[in-house]
Chain A
Amino acid sequence: MIKTFTHETLLQYVYNELPAEQQVEVEQALVHDADLAARCADLLLAQRCLDALQSTPSDRATQNILNYSRTFLRAS
């Protein structure tokens, strides 16, 4: 019998939050259940989409933090 998984379980799967045993169960189900695989692919695409929004702060901001850390060491 094919076990069904909720969308919430799939979310935990794509974010690597499931216990190892349950993760294997999901992976086995993905092979046999096309609908589940499609829902999982949707979530992975959404992740990729959100990843693309990541932004980098300026070098100046990064350098300020590093300088602060070094100064803090000398002061204490």
Chain B
Amino acid sequence: MEPMQPSDSALISLYIAGKEEAFALLLERHKRRVFTTIMLIVKDTVVAEDLLQDTFIKAVHTMKSGRYNEEGKFSSYICRIAHNLAIDNFRRQKRNPQLNLDATGHAFNSLTYAEEGIDATLTRDETHARLRELIQELPAAQKEVLIMRHYGDMSFQEIADATGVSINTALGRMRYALINLRKKMTAQPDIYDQNLYPRDAAPVCVQRIAS
């Protein structure tokens, strides 16, 4: 049996009380979701890492100055900060585009595939890269809900509140985001990965044993 993990709320209390290790655990628990949320918006590893740091630095300030509001989940709180910073950055970049010579152009290049062959890794890399492109091609409102719900861990109600729409609209946008993604994926068999997204998922069968 896995040992019980302390809740985010307990870690925050410990951190505010001066236990730095609690913050390290909190960071470890949430950094991938936050980083992915940012990456899907800014599409640049260097910028995303800067924004990741800014996000957690804001949280450090809020928690250590006693202004952290215990209501709501930490995951939603931290992803909301990340999302806002990423959107601000995206808008700034749109106004003043800059060429980043450090960026390799291979977003998400730190994905790790333990114990996989090179071919399998390359195929998966390509599939993931294409899927990321397909997410970028979604209408902005659908993309926003998908990122906030799936990577930001915000509830549909929280997303509705944050974006000023009804919960039904938020749910509808998520629904169409997934439908659109699926359509696009299945329309491109060359990038299609059966392990990730089977086109014709076999129905569940009950095998009858002849008596």
State the A residues within 8 Å of B (CB): 7-8, 11-12, 15, 17, 34, 37-38, 41-43, 45-50, 52-58, 60-62, 64-66, 68-70, 72-73, 76
Contacts and interface: CB of A to CB of B under 8 A. Distances in A.
A8 B169 CA distance: 10
B150 interface: yes
B35 A55 contact: yes
A56 B31 contact: yes
A62 B198 CA distance: 35
A56 to B, nearest CB: 5
Contact of B201 (A41, A50, A56, A68): A41
By Cβ-Cβ distance, the 3 closest A-B pairs, closest first, are A8-B171, A55-B108, A61-B49
Contact of B36 (A12, A47, A53, A73): A53
Nearest to A60: B49
A65 B53 contact: yes
A56 B110 contact: yes
Interface in B22-66: 23-24, 27-28, 31-33, 35-36, 39-40, 48-49, 52-53, 56-57, 60-61, 64
B131 interface: yes
A70 B151 CA distance: 27
A11 B39 CA distance: 24
Interface stretch (B2-10, B67-75, B88-96, B174-182): B174-182
Contacts of A50: 146, 150-151
Given A11-B175, A43-B178, A55 B32 contact: yes
Name B's interface SS.
Answer: helix
B57 A45 contact: no
Nearest to B172: A8
B168 interface: yes
A73 to B, nearest CB: 7
6 contacts: A15-B156, A17-B157, A50-B151, A65-B52, A65-B60, A69-B20
A76 B135 CA distance: 42
B27 A52 contact: no
B111 interface: yes
A8 to B, nearest CB: 4
B204 interface: yes
Contact of B52 (A34, A38, A49, A61): A61
Contact of A17 (B32, B135, B156, B172): B156
Nearest to A45: B197
Given A38-B201, A46-B197, A76 B64 contact: yes
Contacts of B57: 65, 68
